[in-house]
């Protein structure tokens, strides 16, 4: 019942059902996982982590729970913790999720070679995702492997365009598309796509983050700073962990905006 309420986005009813399960059977691990995923999908990462950590105390070899916790830690930017649990999950039952989360954790720790190895393992599981192509492109760019990066950016573009054909209103996909276009020298189209994404979903975290990254890549520092002013603290922290913002962070205007956001 909790799962049905979750699918219907009736979060209060879903939480009530999950809490009832916990009251009836406190060590039923499934409810902790599903309840944690509900919190994760709504951006309540600390609540999600607490539930799944409790599950793992009782079921330490549950590969699915470990993989999910790795994703939660990635969202919380706990990269060292994400690496540990993702490695454990992959050792028990390798999946695309644990490989991808492990790759992200490694990439954020500036270990791109190791990250690429994990991403390439993730390619073996089912249809590759847009996120996987994008992360491979970014890792190769960081290492200066521009031909490899361009290939993965092109594959990411094709994936984003396919998704937009299904849902033209998906502003996050449009923002990612713009970012990829900026790296394949399609600057005019990149600018159009990112401005469209900002117009339709200016408050979306992913849109704001990719807008800053895209505009910085296009060399429009003034517009980059303007967009940054509307960012949340979470978006700022994500940007500072991202490849491509090193020069931006040295700008005194950026530092002033960042100080204001943190306060």
For residues 65 and 32, what is the distance between their CA atoms, to the nearest angstrom? 9
C-alpha triplet 204, 207, 210: angle, nearest 5°: 150
Q: Between residues 142 and 241, which one has the greater pLDDT? A: 142
Locate 199 and state its tokens.
């117009």
For the residues 160-174, what does the mean pLDDT come to? 92
For the residues 208-229, what does the mean pLDDT come to? 96
Average pLDDT, rounded, for the chain? 94
Percent of the chain with pLDDT over 90: 90
User: Which residue carries 């204001």 as its tokens?
Assistant: 260
Confidence at 241, pLDDT banded by 50, 70, 90? confident
pTM above 0.75, yes or no: yes
For the residues 211-238, what does the mean pLDDT come to? 94
Locate 190 and state its tokens.
């990149």
């Amino acid at each position: 019942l909790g799962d049905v309420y979750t699918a219907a986005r009736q979060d209060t009813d879903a939480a009530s059902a999950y809490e009832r399960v916990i009251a009836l059977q406190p060590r039923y691990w499934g409810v902790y996982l599903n309840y944690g995923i509900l919190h994760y999908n709504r951006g309540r990462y600390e609540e999600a982590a607490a539930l799944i950590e409790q599950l793992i105390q009782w079921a330490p070899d549950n590969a699915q729970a470990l993989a999910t916790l790795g994703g939660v830690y990635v969202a919380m930017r706990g990269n060292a913790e994400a690496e540990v649990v993702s490695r454990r999950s992959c050792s028990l039952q390798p999946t695309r999720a644990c490989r991808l989360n492990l790759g992200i954790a490694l990439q954020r720790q500036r270990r791109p070679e190791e990250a690429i190895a994990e991403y390439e393992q993730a390619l073996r599981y089912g249809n590759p995702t847009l996120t996987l192509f994008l992360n491979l492109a970014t890792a190769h760019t960081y290492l200066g492997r521009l031909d490899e990066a361009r290939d993965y950016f092109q594959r990411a573009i094709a994936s984003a365009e396919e998704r937009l054909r299904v849902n033209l209103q998906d502003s996050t996909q449009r923002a990612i598309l713009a970012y990829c276009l900026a790296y394949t020298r399609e600057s005019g189209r990149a600018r159009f796509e990112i401005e469209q994404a900002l117009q339709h979903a200016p408050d979306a975290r992913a849109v704001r983050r990719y807008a800053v990254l895209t505009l910085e890549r296009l060399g429009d520092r003034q517009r980059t700073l303007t967009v940054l002013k509307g960012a949340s603290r979470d978006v700022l922290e994500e940007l500072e962990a991202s490849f491509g913002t090193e020069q931006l962070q040295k700008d005194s205007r950026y530092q002033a905006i960042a100080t204001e956001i943190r306060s």
